[in-house]
Amino acid sequence: MRRVLAGFVVLVLVLGMVTAAAAPQPDPARDYLLSALGLLRAHSIDRDFVDWPAAEAEALREIAGVTASAGTYSAIRTVIYQLGNPHTRLIDPAQAVPAPPATIEVPSSRTHGDLAVLTVPEFHLNPAAEGRYVAAGVAAVRSADASRPCGWIVDLRGNDGGDMVPMLTVVAPLLDEGVLGSFKGLDGAGPWILRAGRVLVPGRSAVDPVNPLRLAGPRPPVAVLTSARTGSSGEATLIAFRGLTRASVFGQATAGLATGNEVDRLSDGAELVITTAQEMDRTGRVYGNTPIQPDHPLPAAATTDEVIAAASAWLHTQPGCSR
């Protein structure tokens, strides 16, 4: 019995040594790379454009000998390039740090004769600054509306995107309640809905801020100003006015980034921004990576005064604003 038992004990010890020797060693860089590629493969709207087994094999060859996550960035960006979507990107940890809330530009307004001019700037993801941005926007709309303008100019020329919900909340009094637009993704369409001053977007919290304002002159004509810099959520804000017969667009074609993204924060603080949907207006027209053309094209060299003058001329032909 002892010999059998002793032999069994020895056998277990030997097998344990073999198993330990065969166990794979931790490889953080490999795990980081495959995790990022897995997110792209699962969620990118362009995922069918990539031969994933080949792409993963090539990416693993590229990071041979790499030990830090930063050493995988180039391989990840190579796969992103294969997806072919300019809105999908990897942001380094240093660039993924949000700006201090007090430094973020907020909406502003002014009057131009019997018109109101509302400037809606970009708002890059920063939950700590969202309340300040919306509050400033509500105050700007309230201030301009006090002059009882007959029409509104919404300036999106410098808005290169970020978070669409604060922007849409600011302009909510200028829109019609109901569906503003939609995301069209791999799983169908998800509408953006304006209800009682709150903008409801798929995947967003129902406790987003509310714009309680009601304009002195409801449903006014609106001229929207765009440029080649107007992109991403700036384009989503533009799309919310598409299909309204009382709205028209002036300026230049937009950046062509009218798509919805999800942002995944990776283990080292980098952010993987993945395009998961195209944007669609209330009429069902689908946008995407093609620049949105204005209704009234103006030269890129046109001054602000010239752009405002063109928008003003159109507004003064509209019901309730004609001279």
Asked if 38 and 149 sit in the same domain, the reply is no
Residues 188 and 43 in one domain: no
Task: Let me know if residue 132 belongs to a domain.
Answer: yes
* Residue 297 domain-assigned (yes or no): yes
User: In this predicted structure, what is the pLDDT of residue 15?
Assistant: 38
Give me the mean pLDDT over the 117-146 stretch. Answer: 94
pLDDT of residue 12: 36
pLDDT tens by residue, 170-191 = 999 999 999 999 999 998 889 9
Domain range enclosing 186: 101-261+275-315
Do 135 and 71 share a structural domain? no
Handedness of CA 89, 92, 93, 99 (dihedral sign): negative
Summarised one tens digit per residue, pLDDT across range 150-161 is 999 999 999 999
Predicted structure pTM score: 0.89
* Average pLDDT over every residue of 263-271: 96
Contact 50/82 with Cβ under 8 angstroms? Answer: yes
Report if residue 163 sits inside a domain: yes
- Same domain, yes or no: 40 and 157: no
Strand blocks (E) in 102-228: 108-112, 115-119, 151-155, 178-185, 188-195, 198-200, 222-226
Residues 184 and 126 in one domain: yes
Number of domains into which the chain is organized: 2
Task: Assign 7 a pLDDT band (cuts: 50, 70, 90).
Answer: very low
Q: What integer pLDDT is reported at residue 322 of this predicted model?
A: 77
For residue 152, give the CATH number of its domain. Answer: 3.90.226.10
Query: Look-up: residue for tokens 């019901």?
Result: 319
**Co-location of 78 and 154 in the same domain:** no
What are phi and psi for residue 4, nearest 5 degrees? -60, -45
Q: Both 144 and 40 in a single domain?
A: no
